[in-house]
Amino acid sequence: MSTPAEIRAQAAMFVMQVADEGRSLDALLENRSDAPQERGLLRSLSYGSVRWYWRLLAVLKKLCSQSTEDLQPEVRALALVGLYQLLHTDIAAHAAVAETVEAARVLKLHRATGLLNAILRRCQRESELLSTGVDTQISARYAHPQWLVTQLQKDWPSRAEQILEANNQHPPFWLRVNARHHDRDQYRALLAAQGISSTVSEYAPEAVLLEQAVEVFSLPGFKEGWVSVQDAAAQLAAHLLATQPNQRVLDACAAPGGKTCHILELQPNITELVALDVSGERMKRVRGNLKRMELDASLIVGSAADPAAWWDGVPFDRILLDVPCSATGVIRRHPDIKLLRRAEDITHLSMRQADMLNKIWPLLVPGGRLVYASCSSLRIENAAVISAFLESHDDAQDITTEATARFGHVMASMNEPSLPGEQQVGWAIPAGTDGMDGFYYACLQKRG
């Protein structure tokens, strides 16, 4: 059993590894064997401190007598974990201070105990004044790096703060009901019978939102493939693809396989679904999901940017291209994105996305449909990529408005108006809309 101080020490090490070493918080917390109560506190402190990192750092700069950059990384991270407890949790202040100072001893940072104690005690005394001071800066108030705040304000002039606020919310627990076994109302009845309350999505027909998170294996029929965990926005992909019987389908960049399974659940009579991913390790997750759902697909390890290495020459009627992106639309699920992404990464990502789209387009039959998807909130990865592609491909037509007609006014109400000189293409969903993640879709048809 770990002591409270040891848990705080471990959380601080995780914060340091994310902020200073570029490590993934999910990976750091994966496969740990902590007791449930310890694991819950460790995850809460780690994710919370990373989620509010930029605000906590601004507070620390106000409290610290020396430059925060001169602090030993472990000391800086431990101070942030302590400040998180005082400013963003219900943990008793005396326990937060005492256990965080004791955590310094656990990490053999004995000389830092006085400094940490002074910082945290002062925060106790001046918390309201400190919060007022740092929150005048929007980047500190919403705990996002300034480059991302600036970009969101440019891309979403009337919704930037809505998105920033949504990014800091606790992620909702969305399920996707397998239509091969139950419809949504039938499955909600099964949940209700177990005392699990739920609501539905206005947009995704198979989506169910749990009022409280539960262990997935406690869900009715989870082992049997009756249900999967997937955000409602991600569930729109299979519907926009509109796969028909006897079609050949490609799910490019398929891992972890949620969209692959959904496509097969909605249309069991396709000729073949090819699931492609560049990572053999991630392809194991696709295989595992297909097995649990009792579904079949052809799995290929390869790159969407290099079809010559794997394509058999038989074209596809439908292609889902879920591109690697900045993931700025799913920050609430992965708050370390605020620390791991850099402004200079975005241009590189958009070039990679454009290359994938250009390389995969020739694999589509005339009259076929390609759905471009990303979980980015940034135009450069979304509308800008699609606009440039349409300008350079006379055989490509944006049919997103037609494909989303079933949503009526909803599509128009979510899209931000296009910028001067920019064509309005695709469907941009701002984070937090109906509890959904931020997503972008563009439906492209190849002229015959």
Query: Whole-prediction pTM value?
Result: 0.94
Q: pLDDT digit string (tens) for 214-232? A: 999 999 999 999 999 999 9
Q: Determine the 3-state secondary structure of 1 from DSSP.
A: coil
- List domains and CATH numbers for the chain: 4-143 (1.10.940.10), 173-229 (3.30.70.1170), 236-446 (3.40.50.150)
- The mean pLDDT of the chain is 94
Q: What is the reported pLDDT for 409? A: 47
Q: How many other β-carbons are positioned within 10 Å of the β-carbon of residue 407?
A: 16
Helices (H), 52-183: 53-63, 73-88, 93-106, 113-134, 138-141, 146-155, 160-167
Q: Residue 272 in contact with residue 248, Cβ under 8 Å?
A: yes
The CA angle 339-344-348, to the nearest 5 degrees, is: 115
What is the Cα 326 distance to its own chain's centre? 9
Q: Residue 299 in contact with residue 273, Cβ under 8 Å?
A: no
CA 31 to CA 50: how far, in whole Å? 20
Q: pLDDT digit string (tens) for 424-447? A: 799 999 999 999 999 999 999 999
What torsion do the CA atoms of 395, 400, 403, 409 make, to the nearest 10 degrees?
-160
Q: Residue 263 in contact with residue 238, Cβ under 8 Å?
A: yes
% helix, strand, coil for the chain, step of 5: 50, 15, 35
Q: CA distances (Å), 36 to each of 1, 97, 232, 298, in order?
A: 11, 23, 28, 38
What order of strands is seen across the sheet that includes strand 207-210? 198-200, 207-210, 173-177, 227-229
CA 74 to CA 306: how far, in whole Å? 43
Average pLDDT of the residues in 83-102: 97
pLDDT at 413 over 90: no
pLDDT at 411 over 70: no
Q: What is the reported pLDDT for 282? A: 94
Q: CA distances (Å), 289 to each of 40, 299, 375, in order?
A: 26, 12, 21
Q: pLDDT digit string (tens) for 184-200? A: 999 999 999 999 999 99
Q: Which residues have a catalytic role annotated?
A: 375
Tell me the two tokens of residue 31.
């496969």
Average pLDDT of the residues in 134-149: 97
Q: pLDDT digit string (tens) for 285-321? A: 999 999 999 999 999 999 999 999 999 999 999 999 9
CA 130 to CA 148: how far, in whole Å? 23
CA 141 to CA 158: how far, in whole Å? 18
In sequence order, the 6+-apart residues with CB closer than 8 A to the CB of 195 are none
Average pLDDT of the residues in 30-39: 84
CA 191 to CA 197: how far, in whole Å? 7
DSSP class per residue in 400-411: HHHHTGGGTHHH
Q: CA distances (Å), 251 to each of 104, 262, 273, 374, in order?
A: 49, 11, 7, 13
CA 10 to CA 334: how far, in whole Å? 19
**Closest by CA position to 329, among listed 162, 177, 203:** 162
Q: What is the reported pLDDT for 31? A: 79
Length of the chain: 448
Q: Residue 186 in contact with residue 147, Cβ under 8 Å?
A: no
Q: What is the reported pLDDT for 417? A: 53
Q: Residue 84 in contact with residue 52, Cβ under 8 Å?
A: yes
Q: What is the reported pLDDT for 419? A: 55
Q: What is the reported pLDDT for 252? A: 96
CA 320 to CA 443: how far, in whole Å? 9
**pLDDT top residue among 320 and 422:** 320
